[in-house]
């Protein structure tokens, strides 16, 4: 009896440490996960939301096929060892980065779904070589991002932000001279030329909105087929330099990859029209902020509006932009509305469900590294597992609050699975297989400009 009490006390201490948020680490394994198998996953896999804590939208979609845990982590060092060992699917936003080293920490990961469209925070080539499919949700925030982009463009032209600040600071604008001083720099929009870099979903939505305000719209996108400009009534530029030379305002709507980092730099800024505007709601790495700050101070760029930054979360108190004039910054929120947020989470959960119940990558709707997967992996068949009614996810049902795991369906018998979590492994039935050597990555350049940034 005393021995049993002592055993329970040890268990209780371990649970207390987990509930208090203690971070567990493990030695990184030298082996990598088995190749992706063709066929449905085994029942009750563990799905982890890596950088969030709210699973209420995802649970109704996944609760009958998986257990959903949340980690609320900013790096893989903060993710519990059980998740690293057992998760077969991961959901994530843009606030956590998964490099090759991070991906290798996951023992059984099969699919990653980015809740949003941009996926530059995941090494998709390394993921493919490790047998992990990477997906995104490209459509949910198209309208929100386009509306925000146009809002920032209009703000730069009409200087609403600066007029508001002037009034808040006590500036009087009763006479014509005072109005002229406060509103100095405000410009007429009709007849101005808006240059769009990257005519994907968001780029096209911005172009259609801008035309209604009287902008002439030109664009540069080397990945689009001929004729798109005719269907939308736009003018296509053959080179980036042509677009910069002819634009009064430049708006960025392309994904970030190794080919376009610091696309806007000191050299390309000098190719822009004197006094042009710059707007970026895409990815912060597209703009060299040091070069932009210098151009704003010298007046070569009349004003800039950035929703995304090289270092996030952004702060005016640090970085090269802290003293830059005529600058509007927002905290990576152009993607957000209540509706868009829910739609993105629902679609991400549906993509995970397709991965669990179908075949990877064939059943996936928005797999962004499918070509790399096909080149790097072998595809043996896998028979669907027989679900025993008594093993239908029992070991995955945890009480609320345990290592940040959301209880499935609020089942009263959830506590029964706790001891198996702490003392043993989570048995979803996927048998480990030794991973083949890394396959070489294809040398094909990424062509992702048709996928707008989310955020």
Residues with catalytic function: 283, 312, 332
Measured between alpha carbons, how far is 347 from 106 in angstroms, rounded to an integer? 23
**One-character DSSP codes across 208-219:** HHHHHTT-EEEE
User: What's the Cα-to-Cα distance from 28 to each of 87, 105, 107, 197, 437, rounded to whole Å?
Assistant: 16, 6, 10, 41, 17
Nearest to 258 by CA among 28, 445, 46: 445
Q: Are 301 and 275 in contact (CB under 8 A)?
A: yes
Structural contact between residues 41 and 393, judged by C-beta atoms closer than 8 angstroms? no
Q: Are 307 and 148 in contact (CB under 8 A)?
A: yes
Output the six-digit token pair for 392.
Answer: 């239908």
- What is the token pair recorded at 163? 């007029």
144, 284, 206, 368 alpha-carbon torsion, rounded to 10°:
-80
What is residue 204's three-state secondary structure?
helix
Distance CA 220, CA 204 (A): 12
Residue with tokens 């808006």: 194
Residues composing the chain: 455
Nearest to residue 92, comparing CAs of 76, 120, 68, 112? 112
């Amino acid at each position: 009896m005393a021995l049993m009490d002592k055993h329970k006390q040890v268990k209780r201490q371990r649970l207390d440490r987990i509930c208090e948020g203690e971070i567990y680490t493990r030695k990184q394994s030298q082996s990598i996960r088995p190749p992706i198998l063709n066929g449905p996953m085994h029942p009750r896999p563990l799905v982890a939301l890596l950088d969030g804590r709210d699973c209420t939208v995802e649970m109704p979609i996944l609760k009958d096929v998986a257990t959903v845990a949340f980690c609320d982590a900013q790096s893989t060092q903060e993710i519990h060892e059980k998740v690293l060992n057992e998760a077969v699917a991961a959901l994530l936003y843009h606030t956590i980065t998964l490099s090759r080293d991070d991906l290798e920490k996951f023992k059984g990961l099969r699919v990653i779904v980015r809740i949003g469209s941009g996926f530059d925070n995941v090494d998709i080539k390394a993921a493919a070589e490790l047998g992990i499919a990477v997906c995104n949700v490209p459509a949910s925030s198209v309208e929100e991002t386009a509306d925000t982009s146009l809002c920032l463009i209009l703000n730069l032209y009409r200087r609403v932000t600066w007029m508001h600040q002037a009034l808040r600071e006590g500036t009087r604008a009763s006479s014509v001279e005072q109005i002229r001083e406060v509103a100095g720099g405000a410009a007429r929009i009709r007849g101005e030329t808006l240059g769009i870099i990257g005519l994907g979903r968001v780029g096209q939505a911005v172009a259609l909105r801008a035309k209604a305000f009287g902008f002439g719209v030109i664009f540069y996108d080397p990945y689009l087929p001929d004729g798109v400009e005719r269907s939308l009534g736009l003018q296509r530029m053959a080179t980036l330099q042509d677009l910069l030379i002819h634009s009064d305002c430049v708006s960025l709507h392309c994904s970030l990859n190794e080919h376009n980092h610091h696309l806007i730099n000191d050299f390309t800024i000098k190719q822009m029209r004197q006094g042009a505007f710059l707007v970026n709601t895409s990815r912060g790495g597209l703009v060299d902020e040091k070069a932009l700050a210098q151009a704003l101070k010298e007046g070569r760029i009349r004003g800039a509006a950035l929703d995304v930054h090289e270092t996030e979360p952004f702060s005016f108190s640090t970085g090269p932009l802290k003293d830059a004039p005529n600058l509007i910054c927002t905290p990576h929120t152009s993607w957000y509305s209540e509706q868009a947020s829910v739609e993105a989470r629902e679609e991400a959960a549906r993509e995970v469900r397709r991965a669990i119940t179908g075949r990877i990558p064939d059943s996936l709707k928005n797999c962004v590294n499918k070509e790399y997967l096909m080149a790097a992996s072998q595809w043996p068949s896998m028979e669907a597992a027989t679900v025993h009614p008594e093993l239908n996810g029992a070991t995955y049902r945890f009480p609320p609050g345990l290592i940040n795991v959301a209880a499935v369906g609020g089942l009263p018998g959830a506590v029964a699975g706790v001891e198996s979590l702490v003392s043993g492994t989570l048995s979803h039935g996927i048998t480990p297989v030794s991973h083949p050597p890394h396959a070489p990555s294809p040398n094909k350049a990424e062509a992702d400009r048709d996928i707008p940034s989310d955020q």
